[in-house]
Structures are given as structure tokens and as C-alpha cells.
Amino acid sequence: MIYSRSFLTGFFAQKVKNMNYFTIAEVAKTSFVEKKSEFIGCMAPVRTNEQAVNFIESVRANNRKARHNVYAYILRDDNISRYSDDGEPHGTAGMPVLEVLRKKNLTDVCIVVTRYFGGILLGGGGLIRAYSHSASITCDSAKIMNMCLCHRLVIRTDYNLYGKINYILPDFKTIVVNSDFGGEVVLEILVLSELLEPLKKKLCEITNGSADVTDMGESYQDFTSVS
């Protein structure tokens, strides 16, 4: 059977969307000096091209006296990646910064490396090393999130069964989002999509079907803390 290019593109795009991905939780900022030039790395989580452009412009506005504001960003939707040398010699700034993001396996992020020129030329190799280092230490300083496709479940049960349910939840790598101990026990949890059916089956088994389990839908959530 021969598949069209549009079919294959859609198929692989869907496969990518079903995978986990890594991004950052909040803005991260670092600075270092190389031969009197200060390199300031500033990275932010972004979801769209517009958000990335707005972030770049905000960094530029805050660093109007800087010689260069080099940037790179990667967006998960439509698999977009862009960069700019912003006046540095071609290939010595934007692409090295973008390569760091790729090696760190980050997406939905935008980083701007601002350079305040110190009067000493670094040469092509020196610029690549400086911009790569700035991007790398900025990524390392960020709070990384492991975004996984999961389901949010609300479990309602009586107190007699709570112990059994609570005991098996770690086996399914769940995250307890909220718990309410009133007239009955109400647990709100996140479970990885691939473990949803096994968990529901186990819950039915240990409670003889008496626990009320409501699926609130599927979304990407941070599972960084789950081993």
C-alpha cells in the first residue's frame, strides 16, 4: 500500500504529539563575562510564534544599549525552530544557541543571549563557544518539566477502601492533585494515558466496583517528580 505524503506527515505529527516532551516552568536568567564582554542568557516558556516574538522584543527593550540580542526558539506545534545571529558573523551565534536547545531536548522555549561588547574581539570560534556556553548554563539553571499525556481522574470512595486505593496508586505512577476527606474520600489524581485502563481495572478489582471513578479528560501535565 502506498501512502500519500500528507497522510504520512499527519501520521508522524500525531505520533509526535502523543510523546512526552520537555519544556521549562518559568523564566531563567544567567550571566557570565568573556574577555570583558558580558553575555546574558534569558529563557522563557512560550507556546506560539507570537509569544516568542513578544519575549524577544521585551528582552531587546530591556537591553537597548547591548550590541547584540541573539535568539533561538523551538515550538512544538508545527515543529517550528528559528534563530537569529543579530549582527554577529553568520553561524557563530544563533545556530549554536539553537543547537543547545536541541541537545537539551527542550521545546516550547525561547532564549535570548544578550551581548554587551567589551572591546575585545573573540573570533568565530570564541563567539560560538561563548554563545553556546551562555545558552547551556541558562538551560541548566531552568526548572525543567517532563510533560506527559495523562488523564485526570476523580475517585470517590468510602473510608474503608481508601487504604487499599492509596496503597496501589504508586504502582501506576500517579500524582495526587487534591484529596478531600469529608463524608467520603475524594481523590483527584493524574495517571499516564498508557496506564489509564490498567489502573481503572485494578481499582474495580480491589473495590469490587464500588469506587466511583470519573475521567475528567486528557491533557499534558508535568511528571518530573514521578520516578
For 217, phi then psi, to 5°, come to: 115, 170
Judge whether residue 183 has pLDDT over 80.
yes
pLDDT value at 13 more than 90: no
Class of 5-142 in CATH = alpha beta
Please report, for the chain, the start and end positions of each structural domain, with discontinuous segments joined by +: 5-142, 148-222
The 10s digit of each residue's pLDDT in 95-134 is 999 999 999 999 999 999 999 999 999 999 999 999 999 9
Q: What distance lies between CA 117 and its chain's CA centroid?
A: 32
- Grid coordinates in use for 84? 537569529
Q: Please check whether the two domains, 5-142 and 148-222, share a CATH topology.
A: no
The band of 78, judged by pLDDT with boundaries at 50, 70 and 90, is confident
The answer to whether residue 7 scores a pLDDT higher than 70 is: no
Mention every residue, 6+ apart, whose C-beta is less than 8 A from residue 44: 24, 26, 27, 28, 55, 109, 110, 111
Cell, residue 92: 557563530
| Protein fold of 148-222 | Alpha-Beta Plaits (3.30.70)
The DSSP secondary-structure symbol of 89 reads P
Helix (H) or strand (E) segment spanning residue 112: strand 109-116
Length in residues, the chain: 227
